[in-house]
Amino acid sequence: MGVKPGKSSPTIEKNVWRRAQNKKRPSTLPRGLVGTKTTAQVTIAGKDTTCLLDTDLQVTTVPQSFYEQHLPDLTIHPLGDLLDVEGANGQLVPYLGYIELSVTFPKDFVGADMEVHTLALVIPHIRSAVHEQVLIGTNTLDALYADLQEDPNHSTFQPLPYGYRAVLRILQQRQTSSTSSSLGWAKMVAASWSQLALSACQRNNLATYLLF
């Protein structure tokens, strides 16, 4: 035999709601709840600006306000419907087109002031704080890391800030995974004194090898 839960009275429900509302709310966020962002002071068209280094972002973006104030001489090239940019909330991020620009990274990040030529989307005025600053994505960061590896004087540089070290470590892993020619090991058994044709594909090039 079961017991049916009775319907609580409006007075009890009101008291429970009131106690919940009267609970003391914390004045500060708990430590460790929100991580820090990795920012850098870069130079774009002679203007020093604080940008966000985002290794999860595939494109570099520039706010329309920054473009109008500091980069009005740069041509915005249209893309039409060739590219969809999705934000962290799953919503599509609008853009006006892309521009060609140069970004100079500071020596405390990569060991020397390094200039990288890149492409960036111009984001129109939207009510989102994250889009009101320059965001440096992997299209620029990968190019920066490639230039860094070609310079023997700075290829082994280790920055002091942890955020910078974390970014460089991620870029190193990305480069290693993209250039590695080994995907793994595969076992194969062949009869003694036999010939076996093995077809392999590397970087879209198909080749056939004879194994004896």
**Domains along the chain with CATH numbers:** 48-161 (2.40.70.10)
pLDDT digit string (tens) for 55-102?
989 999 999 999 999 999 999 999 988 888 887 777 888 999 999 999
pLDDT digit string (tens) for 162-206?
888 889 899 888 887 776 555 566 666 767 666 666 666 554 455
Task: Give the integer Cα–Cα distance in Å for 22 and 33.
Answer: 24
Q: Give the number of residues written for the chain.
A: 212
CB atoms within 10 A of CB 120: 25
Tell me if 23 sits within 8 A of 103, measured CB to CB. no
pTM here is: 0.67
Q: Which amino acid would we find at residue 116?
A: V
pLDDT digit string (tens) for 11-61?
666 666 666 666 666 778 788 887 778 899 999 988 999 999 999 899 999
Nearest CA-CA partner of 133 in 66, 73, 196 = 66
Long-range contacts of 146-150 (CB under 8 A, 24+ apart): 146/175, 147/114, 147/116, 148/110, 148/111, 148/114, 149/175
Is residue 68 classed as helix, strand or coil in its secondary structure? helix
Nearest CA-CA partner of 143 in 37, 58, 75 = 58
Tell me if 103 sits within 8 A of 44, measured CB to CB. yes
